[in-house]
Structure 1
């Protein structure tokens, strides 16, 4: 940036800053009549932050944004950082500096922080705009989970695969319709040999693959797997002796599911993910890694999911209300924890992922935003990485009582009308 453009940018930044300060003062004076100052001031500052958010995107950094708004995350970041700094900084520097210097620090610290935040937001916007892909560029892989759960699930997945709307699926080997699902998949695979079939490791419901007597702590009286995701997570934090005991039984069940997968699908390296992403729980992951060479496990799914941009606020509210954000956070942490040991054992994984934040509701705006986000990352894979993966759970109307077959957790999910909405959305994507 030459000196003239830099001075122009600084001038525009100052102009927007003056407008934001005027908004702050005006709102504070107006609200001060009705509210106490301690409440009116944060609200006035929020109004000023919105003014700066819009002004800097559409005026100061217009060359980077094209006149579009910044992603809303930058407004949240700016507001949160400034509230924290303005609240804590006076307490931190009290008595450490002479009064004139203290005033300078209090005035200019938020200004500098704001400049850094809006500049980073502008670079973020520029990157998004410059990452427009041409039609021949690589694209994310479309993947569906739960093949074998029911005839309704099989029907949707096989139809999408036949139409070229899926690149892969994951098989529940203990699912009631597993054999029928594999038979249908092989028929489609004969015409589309690049399709990928993964083992969908299931440890939370359904009949166990290993003899129940050999895994007593994992099953109930009917021989059905009974530990929830939360209980597996707690087991990973338990005493070492307990972990070793459960890991021995866990290893038997994983080996039995791999054996059944090979019986249904044939020999070869295993690409593996988990029902309810159970493979990322530390105790399960460690057991998988310990047997990876012996069982030819070559790939494990990562759920590191970038937050999409351009979503309506109602979508974020739904993600919060239905605990999608909490699930996203937990799986982000588990995926990041798993990355290094997976590489150390020579396992590959997908570069990026979408499908946790809006699990079970991958249609409409969430699906399109996730697709755009993964498109930006497609073709940038490094060694040991496969293409970004977009996950959905399509299904036809359910006509099976899954609860009676040991899949009580999946029953309401599979019976939801969202299964058909995801099916239609993938057809139209």
Structure 2
């Protein structure tokens, strides 16, 4: 018996090297989803290349509200034409300082940019730097998902015990999970499908090899109850475009090299893990079941 896991690479569209790495891994059967930053200039020109792999992976929207240029005017959040860093966005969200209309309009623009280049709507919506969990943002995301039949969302919460046992970036992982409680309530209330379990958070500055982290991420799924398991990764090949827009460079290379290599394949076999798309994941049993 195998355990299905959705393995999702974030940030398609951010840079050519990220795009190439993700496409190679999907083609090799080492990824089953990727999240698209449709406001980035490397999305539309490289959508067709990804579309050739559409039968191998879910492709969704990575809603972005930090550090990039929005697709339309946002005088409240991006008065100078650039979205704020994550810390400022979070402060505004929790002070009630986000303009709901601005957020909804930008989400609609990013969905339209995705759909125009892809030829159809996103299979799911999540958030760059997990912004889809924030107050005001999460309401816009859930409302958008409700208009996309069959689309799912990403939950970022994990059982506290699993986080403590893993001993990987514990404070960061606990914070990200805690931020998602409100989103989870909205998803459940609207009966929008989402993963039950989540993993993949670590300190990108760590000296621990990615090969040592992956077994811990997978073991959290294997030790817990059955459910829809989603593992987040960030593979990429460093290039000048990536270095201009993001500080996460060498960790992307390390993830890419590990995911494409024989050590990862051996780990999947040893742990009895099967990489799967969302519709192939097992739902968590309910009390009625």
- Quote the RMSD (CA, aligned, Å): 2.4
Answering whether residue 78 of structure 2 is matched by residue 225 of structure 1, we say no
* 1:236, distance to aligned residue in structure 2 (A): 2.6
**CA 1:309/1:286 → structure 2, altered by over 3 Å: closer, same or farther?**
closer
- For 2:242 and 2:197, locate their aligned partners in 1 and report how far apart those are by CA, in whole Å: 35
Aligned residue pairs: how many? 258
CA contact (8 A) 1:198 1:273 kept: yes
Give the secondary-structure state (helix, strand or coil) at the position aligned to 2:240: coil
Counterpart residue number, 1:247: 100
Q: Which segments of 5 or more consecutive residues in structure 2 lack a partner in the other structure? A: 265-289
CA contact (8 A) 2:63 2:128 kept: yes
* 1:401, distance to aligned residue in structure 2 (A): 5.8
Counterpart residue number, 1:370: 217
* TM-score of the aligned structures, taking structure 1 as reference length: 0.55
Counterpart residue number, 2:3: 138
* 1:310, distance to aligned residue in structure 2 (A): 7.3
Structure whose CA Rg is larger: 1
- For 2:144 and 2:242, locate their aligned partners in 1 and report how far apart those are by CA, in whole Å: 35
CA contact (8 A) 1:140 1:375 kept: no
Give the 4+ runs in structure 1 shifted more than 6 A.
none
> In the TM superposition, what are the counterparts of 1:199-218 in structure 2 within 5 Å?
199-210=61-72, 212=73, 215-218=74-77
- For 1:146 and 1:219, locate their aligned partners in 2 and report how far apart those are by CA, in whole Å: 21
* 1:159, distance to aligned residue in structure 2 (A): 0.7
Give the secondary-structure state (helix, strand or coil) at the position aligned to 1:164: coil
Answering whether residue 24 of structure 2 is matched by residue 159 of structure 1, we say yes
* 1:176, distance to aligned residue in structure 2 (A): 2.7
Structure with larger RCO (C-alpha < 8 A, sep 6+): 2
Give the secondary-structure state (helix, strand or coil) at the position aligned to 1:236: helix
* TM-score of the aligned structures, taking structure 2 as reference length: 0.80
CA contact (8 A) 2:236 2:253 kept: yes
Cα-to-partner distance string for 1:319-344 (whole Å, 9 max, x where unaligned): 5xxxx333212211122332121111
Answering whether residue 130 of structure 2 is matched by residue 277 of structure 1, we say yes
> In the TM superposition, what are the counterparts of 1:272-351 in structure 2 within 5 Å?
272-294=125-147, 298-306=151-159, 307=162, 316=167, 319=168, 324-351=169-196
CA contact (8 A) 1:152 1:397 kept: yes
> In the TM superposition, what are the counterparts of 1:41-80 in structure 2 within 5 Å?
none
CA contact (8 A) 1:199 1:271 kept: yes
Cα-to-partner distance string for 1:38-59 (whole Å, 9 max, x where unaligned): xxxxxxxxxxxxxxxxxxxxxx
